[in-house]
Amino acid sequence: MKNPDYWQDSLQYLTSADKTLGDIISQHKDYSITSRGEAYETLLRAIVGQQISVKAAASVWNKIVDLIKIIEPNKVLSTSKEKLKLCGLSKQKTQYILNISEHFKINNIIDDTYWEERTYLSVYEELITIKGIGPWTAEMFGMFYLLEKDIFPLKDVGILRAMYQLYNNGERMDIDKIVKISDTWKPYRSVACWFLWRSIDSEEVLY
């Protein structure tokens, strides 16, 4: 587990740049984002967490852990689709998890040195070649594993809901307005998003 070295600078910058966000940050003074330090687990957790609540995702994940015990590609690939689906995974998510496991196995990704000293763009471009990993999942990997400081997942439901509540009295906003607000957070949009998630969910988002 590691804390990003830019954390304190980002909090000061965002508090100064955006009073609304600054109020959220002040309510969560002890909050800090960390990486699990496990690329494979981060990707699987992101797949599990797609389009469901943090609490529901945690329940499904715990069932997967109970079933497989050790979360690594060969163990997942040797588990039947039927058993994986019984954990609460849809047919589609089950296949996506198997696709990721196959990618790790084929490329012999046995430790996290595989991702070191690479640009986020190169990692992103590799990940989206895996069927089941789209922009959102690649963005979650960038935010929660690589700890990239300036990612803004524009299509994340939680981020949009938080912004509607905080910046438009709960009403929907045009994408252009959302982007304009997020531009004031650069170069720390990831940090802003972590606090937006915290503002709407008592459960910590952590993939």
- Number of alpha carbons in the 13 Å side-chain half-sphere of residue 62: 6
User: Which of 37, 12, 44, 57 has the alpha carbon at shortest distance from 201?
Assistant: 57
Q: What is the pLDDT of residue 92?
A: 96
Q: What is the pLDDT of residue 202?
A: 64
- d(CA 206, CA 31) in angstroms, rounded, equals 12
Q: Is the N-terminal amide bond of 187 cis, ω within 30° of 0?
A: yes
pLDDT (tens digit, 9 = 90+) per residue, 4-27?
899 999 999 999 999 999 999 999
DSSP state of 205: P
pLDDT by position in tens, the chain (length 207): 556 899 999 999 999 999 999 999 999 988 888 887 799 999 999 999 887 888 899 999 999 999 999 999 999 999 999 999 999 999 999 999 999 999 999 999 988 899 998 999 999 999 999 999 999 999 999 999 999 999 999 999 999 999 999 999 999 999 999 999 999 999 999 999 999 999 987 666 676
**Every domain range in the chain assigned CATH 1.10.340.30:** 39-144
pLDDT (tens digit, 9 = 90+) per residue, 164-201?
999 999 999 999 999 999 999 999 999 999 999 999 87
- d(CA 82, CA 125) in angstroms, rounded, equals 31
**Every domain range in the chain assigned CATH 1.10.1670.40:** 7-34+151-200
User: Domain spanning 39-144: which superfamily?
Assistant: Hypothetical protein; domain 2 (1.10.340.30)
Tell which phi-psi region holds residue 39, choosing left (phi > 0), alpha (psi between -120 and 50) or beta: alpha
Contacts of 140 (CB under 8 A, 6+ apart): 42, 46, 49, 153, 207
Q: What is the pLDDT of residue 83?
A: 97
CATH class for the region spanning 7-34+151-200: mainly alpha
